[in-house]
Structure 1
Amino acid sequence: MTGAQPALQARYWAADRYQKVANRLSPLSVALCDRAALRAEENVLDVATATGNAALTAAERHCKVTAIDTDLHMLGVAQRRALDKNLQLTLRNYDAQNMPFPADLFDAVISAGGVQFAPDPAACAAELLRVCRPTGRIVVGSWGPASPITIMFEILHAVCPLVNSILACSTEWGTAKGLHRLFEGKATVEAEESFVHVEVPSVEEWADILCENFGPARLAIAESDAPTAAEIHQSLRTLFAQCTDGEAPSGNARLRMECLQAVVIPLTA
């Protein structure tokens, strides 16, 4: 996930720090790989992989996985994680809006909360379709306008305009209407308003993890005075307290994170 202007991303985004957030968001990747019904030996592309959650989940299912991202540091963490798990990934520093792959290469194209941040949604949607085989499927999970992730960005943007609002891309990719518009006449779209459960030590600790490790939150706090920084912490605690959905068997707090999960099937001529 991205949010800050490019010149500031290198300063506040750090892949190793971000992994502390990504670890908690892995249930979305598992849900999407389940929805894609991945089969062993299938050729799978993970778009905007970040530190590799979805790519590694697909590799664990014995797929042949290629993963792309525009952040080399994120790809480095994904590679290290793959080595730690003894999994094979092909990693490429490619832009989702212009992928130098031949057409009809992949059986499944997946993206877990990443592709929605592409600056040109139409170009990105066209590329996903181009590289997906006519008999394949595209499976995306996106944070919708009412998701806690989108609301978090709005909280940060209100305090620090250097953190971008993501309402537009959340409406484009995170609603059924937006997805139907993106793929109109080119694919069928089966979109479901859904959710994943994310386990965190506590709401308070989750807010601390975000403020210390999530690039946009770090940026907003760095650009704020002490009282405003304290307000950011409190706003995030309040936001995620509203998402609490009981306690996990591990004893961790369980957060309900709304998202749109969609299967896109290319139309054959």
Structure 2
Amino acid sequence: MTELNAAAEADRALKAKHRTMWSLGDYPAVATQVVSGLGPELVRACGVRRGDRVLDVAAGSGNAAIPAALTGADVIASDLTPVLMEAGKALAAQQGAELAWEEADAEALPFEDGEFDVVMSCVGVMFAPNHQACADELVRVCRDGGTVGLVNWTPQGFIGRMFTVMKPYAPPPPPGAQPPPLWGDEEHVAALLGDRVTDIDARRQTLRVDRFGTPEEFRDFFKAAYGPTIAVYKNIADDPGKVAALDDELAALAREHMAGGGGMEWEYLLFTAHRRVS
């Protein structure tokens, strides 16, 4: 097998692993019950309006794509995981939203250069392993003067810290993969996009989460519903000591963020920019 073929085969295997991970549990429940406010916020920040051609990259079950479609925009929701898109189609039908769904790899989008007025991703593209490849694709498919908009969890915020807690219990990342929460660092994102964009607006904001009454309720919900957390627990399933330790650490993290009240504030980066006119 040539080096090029070996790399392609490794990439296919990695993407299959990611597809399986996001098929675990019930991510649509996370999207609708916990983080539903993020999508509409991103749509507003991108200024999506009727008639716009919009691409939602790593759209999952449509947290941002469906609100965009409800504005009257012409929307394509793309994702690597068919089971999430099937859930999204059902949610869109319930809300009367009309949009297209297309299976696609965020690192190699099957769309033409400059095809969209708005290219966005809501806590989605951050989980692809090759950050630069994703950034290149986001810019490539956006028209000159169009908008690139992103919502991603910050490294310092609750979800970023959750990934730090889980890291020692997770299998080693593939060679070259970068941590997802780096997409929540404004300097990292600006460097990825480079001088191909202008008018950068990067704001750290918080999502109020009132879904969980106790730290243990948060932990158990994410153990059952959130693919990355499920995958980490599967990795240590044969070691009860590690399972108990991770249980304790996740509950402690949630308890820290619930201090002074039942709700939590989860920090994210809202990042928008315009594709430079060439």
Normalised to the residue count of structure 2, the TM-score between the two structures is 0.84
1:255 corresponds in structure 2 to 264
What is the alpha-carbon distance in structure 2 between the residues aligned to residue 26 and residue 163 of structure 1?
29
Identity of aligned residues (%): 28
Instruction: State the shift of 1:229 in Å.
Output: 2.0
1:56-101 Cα deviation digits (max 9, x unpaired) = 1212222221110111111111112112222112000011221121
In structure 1, runs of 5+ residues without a counterpart are 248-252
Q: For residue 226 of structure 1, what is the amino acid of its counterpart?
A: P
Equivalent pair of 1:15/1:74 in contact (CA under 8 Å): no
1:240 aligns to 2:257 (yes or no): no
Match of 1:40 among 45, 50, 54: 50
Q: Mean alpha-carbon deviation: is it higher for 208-217 or for 13-22?
A: 13-22
CA gap of 1:41–1:199, structure 2 versus 1, over 3 A, is farther
2:90 corresponds in structure 1 to 80
Instruction: State the shift of 1:16 in Å.
Output: 6.1
In structure 2, runs of 5+ residues without a counterpart are 1-13
1:201 aligns to 2:212 (yes or no): yes
Equivalent pair of 1:107/1:132 in contact (CA under 8 Å): yes
1:250 corresponds in structure 2 to none
Normalised to the residue count of structure 1, the TM-score between the two structures is 0.86
Instruction: State the shift of 1:6 in Å.
Output: 5.3
Instruction: State the shift of 1:20 in Å.
Output: 2.0
Q: For residue 159 of structure 1, what is the amino acid of its counterpart?
A: Y
Q: For residue 121 of structure 1, what is the amino acid of its counterpart?
A: H
Match of 2:149 among 139, 149, 171: 139
Match of 1:213 among 225, 242, 254: 225
Q: For residue 187 of structure 1, what is the amino acid of its counterpart?
A: V
Give matches, 1:88-237, under 5 Å. 88-161=98-171, 168-171=179-182, 173-188=183-198, 189-202=200-213, 203-222=215-234, 223-224=236-237, 225-237=239-251
What is the alpha-carbon distance in structure 2 between the residues aligned to residue 261 and residue 155 of structure 1?
24
Q: For residue 31 of structure 2, what is the amino acid of its counterpart?
A: A
How many correspondences in the alignment?
Answer: 260
1:18 aligns to 2:27 (yes or no): yes
Q: Mean alpha-carbon deviation: is it higher for 221-230 or for 193-202?
A: 221-230
SS of the aligned residue for 1:185 comes to helix
CA gap of 1:15–1:62, structure 2 versus 1, over 3 A, is farther
Instruction: State the shift of 1:45 in Å.
Output: 0.9
What is the alpha-carbon distance in structure 2 between the residues aligned to residue 42 and residue 119 of structure 1?
29
